[in-house]
Amino acid sequence: LPEEVIGLVSKQGSEFSGIPEGVEVICGCDDLTAGVLGLSVPEGVTFNLANTSEHVGMVGVEPVQGLSWLPPLGTLPSLSYSVTSAGFDSAQDIRDAEVNTLRQKFPEGKLWIGGGLAMDSSLVKRRNSIFKAGSEVSALGIAKLAQRSPHAVIFGAGKVGRGFLAQLLSRAGWTFALVDAHLESVKALRQNGGWRTFNLSTEETEWIQAEGVFHTSENLESILARADLILTSMGATHLLNWAEEICVPLCKRLEDGMLDLILAENHPRPAFAVREALMQNSTEKQAKLIVEKLGIAQAQVLRSCIEPLNTQHPLTVQIQDHWTLPLDGDVLKTDFTIQGFEKMPDFERELTRKLFTYNCVNAMVCYLGYLAGYEWLADAANDARISAIALQAGQESSAALVAAYGFEPAEQREWCERALAKYQDKTIRDPIERNARDPIRKLGRFERLLGPIHLCQEYDLPHESLLIGVAAALQYPGAKMDGSLPLGEANAKLESLLASESI
pLDDT digits (tens, 9 = 90+) for 135-164: 999 999 998 888 778 999 999 999 999 999
Question: If you average pLDDT over residues 38-52, what whole number do you get?
Answer: 91
Element (DSSP H or E) covering residue 305: strand 305-306
Q: Is the pLDDT of residue 487 over 80?
A: yes
Which sequence spans correspond to the domains of the chain?
5-146, 151-345, 355-499
C-alpha neighbours within 13 Å on the C-beta side of residue 107: 8
CA 349 to chain centre: 24
| pLDDT (0 to 100) of residue 502 | 47
105-123 CB burial, b ≥16 within 10 A, e <16: bbeeeebbbbbebbeeeeb
- For the chain, give the number of residues: 503
Q: Single out the residue of 422, 306, 405, 283 nearest to residue 351, CA to CA.
A: 405
Q: Is the pLDDT of residue 218 over 70?
A: yes
Confidence of residue 498 (pLDDT cuts 50, 70, 90): confident
Q: Is the pLDDT of residue 90 over 50?
A: yes
Which residues fall within 8 angstroms of residue 339, CB to CB, at 6 or more apart?
Answer: 168, 171, 172
**What CATH number matches the domain at 151-345, 3.40.50.720, 1.10.510.10, 3.40.50.300, 2.60.40.150?**
3.40.50.720
Question: If you average pLDDT over residues 433-445, what whole number do you get?
Answer: 92
| Three-point CA angle 147, 148, 154, nearest 5° | 135
| pLDDT (0 to 100) of residue 484 | 85
In whole angstroms, what is the distance from residue 248 CA to residue 223 CA?
13
Q: Is the pLDDT of residue 460 over 60?
A: yes
**For residues 96 and 86, is the Cβ–Cβ distance under 8 A?**
no
Question: If you average pLDDT over residues 17-24, what whole number do you get?
Answer: 86
| Three-point CA angle 109, 113, 117, nearest 5° | 145
| pLDDT (0 to 100) of residue 462 | 96
**For residues 460 and 491, is the Cβ–Cβ distance under 8 A?**
no
Rounded mean pLDDT of the chain?
A: 92
| pLDDT (0 to 100) of residue 161 | 97
| pLDDT (0 to 100) of residue 24 | 82
β-sheet with 111-114: strand ranges across: 68-70, 79-83, 54-59, 46-50, 111-114, 130-133
92: number of Cβ within 10 Å:
13
Burial of 446 (0-12, 13-18, 19+ CB in 10 A): middle
β-sheet with 305-306: strand ranges across: 205-208, 195-199, 317-319, 305-306
DSSP class of residue 431 equals B
> CATH classification of 355-499 is 1.10.1040.10, yes or no?
yes
Question: If you average pLDDT over residues 54-72, what whole number do you get?
Answer: 90
| pLDDT (0 to 100) of residue 349 | 86
At residue 80, the 3 state secondary structure works out as strand
In whole angstroms, what is the distance from residue 252 CA to residue 285 CA?
11
DSSP class of residue 62 equals P
In whole angstroms, what is the distance from residue 416 CA to residue 432 CA?
20
Element (DSSP H or E) covering residue 343: strand 341-344
Fold of 5-146: Nucleotidyltransferase; domain 5 (3.30.420)
Question: If you average pLDDT over residues 364-369, what whole number do you get?
Answer: 97
Q: Is the pLDDT of residue 173 over 90?
A: no
At residue 402, the 3 state secondary structure works out as helix
DSSP class of residue 473 equals H
Cite the DSSP H helix spans in 164-304.
Answer: 166-171, 183-192, 220-224, 239-254, 270-280, 284-293
C-alpha neighbours within 13 Å on the C-beta side of residue 374: 25
| Three-point CA angle 188, 236, 263, nearest 5° | 85
pLDDT 10s digits, 299-351? 999 899 999 999 999 999 999 999 999 999 999 999 999 999 999 998 888 88
Phi first, then psi, for residue 24 (nearest 5°) are -65, 145
| pLDDT (0 to 100) of residue 281 | 82
| pLDDT (0 to 100) of residue 503 | 45
361-398 CB burial, b ≥16 within 10 A, e <16: bbbbbbbbbbbbebebbbbbbbbebbbebbbbbbbbbb
At residue 89, the 3 state secondary structure works out as coil
| pLDDT (0 to 100) of residue 501 | 58
In whole angstroms, what is the distance from residue 123 CA to residue 451 CA?
68
139: number of Cβ within 10 Å:
13
C-alpha neighbours within 13 Å on the C-beta side of residue 416: 25
224-256 CB burial, b ≥16 within 10 A, e <16: bebbbbbbbbbbbebbbebbebbbebbbbbbee
Question: If you average pLDDT over residues 421-434, what whole number do you get?
Answer: 92
Q: Is the pLDDT of residue 60 over 90?
A: no
